[in-house]
A and B are shown apart, each in its own frame.
Chain A
Amino acid sequence: MSNIDLLGRRNFIKGLGAAAGVAMASPAMAVSEKADGVKWDKEVEVLIIGSGFAGLAAAIEATRKGAKDVHIFEKMAYFGGNSAINGGLFAAPGTPMQKKEGVQDSVDRMVADQLKSGRGIADEALLRHVASHAVEALQLTMDAGAEFHPYLQQLGGHSVARTYQTSVSCGAGITQPLYKECKRIGVNTHNRSKFEGFLVGDKGEVVGVKMRQNYHFGEDQPGKVLNIRAKRGVIMATGGFAQNVDLRMAQDPTLTSEVGCTNAPGATGEGMYEMFRLGAIPVHLAHIQSGPWASPDEGGFGYVSNYSIYNFPHSMAVNRLTGKRFMNEIADRKTRADAELACRDEKGNALPPILITSYKDSKKHPNTKKVIKYNVGWKFDTIEELAKHFDVPLKPLKAQIEEYNSYVKSGEDKQFGKNMTKAKDKFIEAPFTVVRLWPKVHYCQGGVQVNTKAEVKDSFTGKPIPGLYAAGEVCGGIHGVSRLGSCSIPECMVMGMTAARSVMKA
């Protein structure tokens, strides 16, 4: 069906399990301990774990607020975490580009869109905090040198166009400038450093961490564990657990190793689970989001994801069995992922649906050329060729295109109620570009509970755990059932900055 190396991924995950087993059996078990009588190997001022958006933003902000000795520890060999490989999409209300394009938007409107997608269980206070500081965070990325496409995008579930995207169409367009900025301002960065547990003081406060040096991910190689004291506090920016099949299946048994994943390999969740052991409150762990724009023809996020995110507003998603549309192409992520998973052949086997776009419109996205070049998408001169290639019944397909084009003309989608604003004048006509769609596990809405100061709450006292802060995907509850696209980067950036401000005040 596809060229994804599922077996390889499974073996890789098995290997992980084995390595974890070894670590558990050894005396240096990964758990938090009392700091009484601990011999400190090292002392730092601000200690940040994880080097994605949240960790990098926290390091820069802490330094700006006067910290002299900020350290980022990263488990993997390379910096940037999952942030370095995502779509680089950044939503903010009331931006300069919205003013230029005449888009009416506000903090209230963005929060309202997110609450709707969150289906009643999102954390309004946190959403409001993030939306209120999103422009400030966008500015921080630009100050560090991030560059953005000169147009706004309207992503699924958003009522207006409010999304910036880096000019390289990837989060690396932000993590690379932030990382360089960290180096420039003297932040200390340590790769191959694995968090092994907290060191806790008499009053239950976090005073430091155990950190394994020279750690090689997925390998059975011990390294040495150091006790590191954090004078001001520890900021956990360790991300989600989408790559940990055991943990995600514990929450949602349908997310087996057969379901692909867009995340970086390091997104395995041990930082989050260690905070639970310490007393943090778990929120919404079972809400794990799959990206409806992913392709079964490549691994991870790849090239197709950004291609389809850009193209969905003026494209038609078609069930190959019927030749008909089956969803609003810009509904929120969960709605679309569920609709795609329902596309199956007569025997019930997966039959990934196709996204049909006019080449004239698709080619405006820089990924289109690459999608075709690397054989993860195709160009067709006629509808007959297209139908034959994907084995779609021709007559219904032709009729569907005609019907859809009438909606483009009238501006009203009578089939699925799609907002046709961005589809204006963009009729589906030859030549076409086509990609296959199949959801991949993309984002964990669940995590530890934090307040608007990025303090981690204790499940028994209801008070913040002193010395412990968290930011980014490792936190839970903010988005509720379904996170809107491009709302994670502002969250990570704002909460990273917030954590830094709190740690500097503490």
Chain B
Amino acid sequence: MKKLNIVLALVLGGLVSLSAQAVDQRPWHKEVIGKDCKTCHDNGIKQFPSDQACLQCHDVDDLVKQTARSEEDKWQNPHNNLHYGKDLPCQECHGEHKAKKPLCSNCHTFKFDKHKE
């Protein structure tokens, strides 16, 4: 939460008006990031964000807790899964500007009710 506030302060403080391009963005990200594309696009605007970009605000261990499954299915936790542990970069399953399927769906029929495609 502390990190989130820091980012919020930075963003609100340094908010500059950018060209109002119509780009899909999650509502809660609009509140925090606003239109400062560079907050996430740390490799340059026309490049994909780095694998660390999302982790400025999101903590992997928190995410692991949020998506934990029962002991029997514990390795189906997308944030701490059997195949890649906690090392799977966020962008493999989540896209801010376009819908993505969870990587698991390549091989498994798991349901992730809260996943936004």
* Complex contacts, B82 vs chain A, CB 8 Å: 168, 170, 172
Contacts of A85 in B (CB 8 A): 83, 107
CA distance in complex: A214, B47 (Å)? 9
User: What is the total number of residues of chain B having a CB less than 8 Å from a CB of chain A?
Assistant: 23
From residue B23, how far is it (CB to closest CB) to chain A in Å?
A: 16
Whether A376 contacts B88 in the complex (CB less than 8 A), given A172-B82, A172-B83, A221-B48, comes out as: no
A375 to B108, CA, bound (A): 10
> How far is the CB of B32 from the nearest CB of chain A, in Å?
24
In the complex, A85→B48 CA distance in Å?
26
CB of B106 within 8 A of CB of A176, answer: no
A299–B48 touching, CB < 8 Å:
no
Q: Mark A362-393, 1 if CB is under 8 A from B, else 0.
A: 00000001100011100000000000000000
Say whether B56 faces chain A, with CB atoms less than 8 Å apart.
no
Q: Which of B47, B87, B89, B109 contacts A298 (CB 8 A)?
A: B109
CB distance from A452 to the nearest CB of B (A): 32
Q: Cβ of A192 and Cβ of B51 under 8 Å apart?
A: yes
A299 to B101, CA, bound (A): 13
Complex Cα–Cα for A375 and B50 (A): 37
A153-179 contacts to B, CB under 8 A, are 168, 170, 172, 175-176
Check: A79 CB closer than 8 A to any chain B CB: yes
Q: Does A438 contact B (CB under 8 A)?
A: no
Q: Is the interface of A mostly helix, strand, loop or mixed?
A: loop
- Whether the Cβ atoms of B89 and A80 lie closer than 8 Å is no
User: Does B84 have its Cβ within 8 Å of any Cβ on chain A?
Assistant: yes
Of residues 1 to 43 in A, which have CB atoms within 8 Å of B's CB atoms? 3, 5
Partner of A301, one of B72, B91, B107: B107
When chains A and B are docked, how far (Å) is the Cα of A184 from the Cα of B14?
Answer: 41
Report if B67 contacts A (CB, 8 A). Answer: no
Judge if A310 is at the interface, Cβ distance under 8 Å: no
Count of A-B residue pairs with CB < 8 Å: 70
Q: Which of A84, A219, A262, A375 contacts B83 (CB 8 A)?
A: A84
Interface contact B89-A302, CB-CB below 8 Å: no
Indicate whether B28 reaches chain A with its CB closer than 8 angstroms.
no
B92 contacts which chain A residues (CB < 8 A)? 77-78
B73-117 CB contacts (< 8 Å) to partner A: 73, 75, 82-85, 87-89, 91-92, 105-110
Given the interface pairs A172-B82, A176-B85, A221-B47, the reply to whether A300 lies near B107 with Cβ below 8 Å is: yes
| Distance of A77 Cα from B105 Cα, bound (Å) | 17
Q: Answer whether A168 and B87 are a contact pair too, CB < 8 Å, given A77-B92, A214-B48.
A: no
The smallest C-beta distance from A180 to any residue of chain B, in angstroms, reads 9
> Closest approach, in angstroms, between the C-beta of B28 and any C-beta of chain A?
24
Is A191 at the interface (CB under 8 A from chain B)?
A: yes
Chain B CB within 8 A of A265 CB? yes
Given A192-B51, A265-B106, A299-B108, A80-B83 contact (CB < 8 Å): yes
Mark interface residues in A73-91 (1 if CB within 8 Å of B CB, else 0): 0000111100011000000
Q: How far is the CB of A12 from chain B (nearest CB, A)?
A: 10
CB distance from B14 to the nearest CB of A (A): 25
- Give B57 Cβ to nearest chain A Cβ, in Å: 20
> With A78-B92, A214-B43 as given contacts, are A303 and B48 in contact (CB-CB < 8 Å)?
no
Q: A170-B82, A214-B48, A221-B48 are in contact. Are A374 and B87 (CB under 8 A)?
A: no
Given contacts A84-B84, A214-B43, contact A77 B89 (CB under 8 A): yes
Residue of A78, A219, A299 with most partner-chain B CB within 10 A: A78
Q: Digit string of A289-303 for contact with B (CB within 8 Å is 1, else 0)?
A: 000000001111111
Residue ID in chain A nearest B92 by CB atoms: A77
B117, chain A: closest CB distance, angstroms:
12
With a CB–CB cut-off of 8 A, which chain B residues contact A192? Answer: 51
Q: How far is the CA of A170 from the CA of B87 in the complex (A)?
A: 17
How far apart are A234's CB and chain B's nearest CB, in angstroms?
25
A418 within 8 A of B: no
Bound form: Cα–Cα A78–B87 in Å: 7
Let me know if A344 is at the binding interface, CB within 8 A.
no
Contact between B89 and A303 (Cβ–Cβ < 8 Å)? no
Once the chains bind, are A299 and B89 in contact (CB under 8 Å)?
Answer: no
Contact assessment for A79 and B87 in the assembled complex, using a CB-CB cutoff below 8 Å: yes
- Min C-beta distance of B54 to chain A, whole Å: 13
**Any B CB within 8 A of the CB of A216:** yes
A299 in contact with B105 (CB, 8 Å): yes
B51 / chain A contacts, CB cutoff of 8 Å: 77, 191-192
| Chain B residue with the shortest CB-CB distance to A303 | B108
Interface residues of B in 18-59 (CB under 8 A from A): 43, 47-48, 50-51
Which chain B residue lies CB-closest to A9?
B106
Q: Verify B43–A375 contact, CB threshold 8 A.
A: no
In contact, A302 and B107 (Cβ under 8 angstroms)? yes
Check A299/B107 contact, CB under 8 A, given A78-B92, A192-B51. Answer: yes
The answer on a CB contact under 8 Å between B43 and A298 is no
Q: Provide the bound-state CA to CA distance between A214 and B53, in Å.
A: 13
Q: Give the contacts of A283-335 with B (CB-CB under 8 A).
A: 297-303
7 A-B interface contacts by CB (under 8 A) = A3-B109, A78-B84, A79-B87, A80-B83, A172-B83, A176-B84, A265-B106
Other A-B pairs, 13, CB within 8 Å; known A79-B84, A172-B84: A78-B84, A79-B87, A80-B83, A80-B84, A176-B84, A191-B89, A192-B51, A298-B107, A298-B109, A299-B106, A302-B107, A369-B72, A374-B108
Nearest 7 CB-CB pairs, A to B? A300-B107, A172-B83, A77-B89, A84-B83, A78-B84, A374-B109, A302-B107
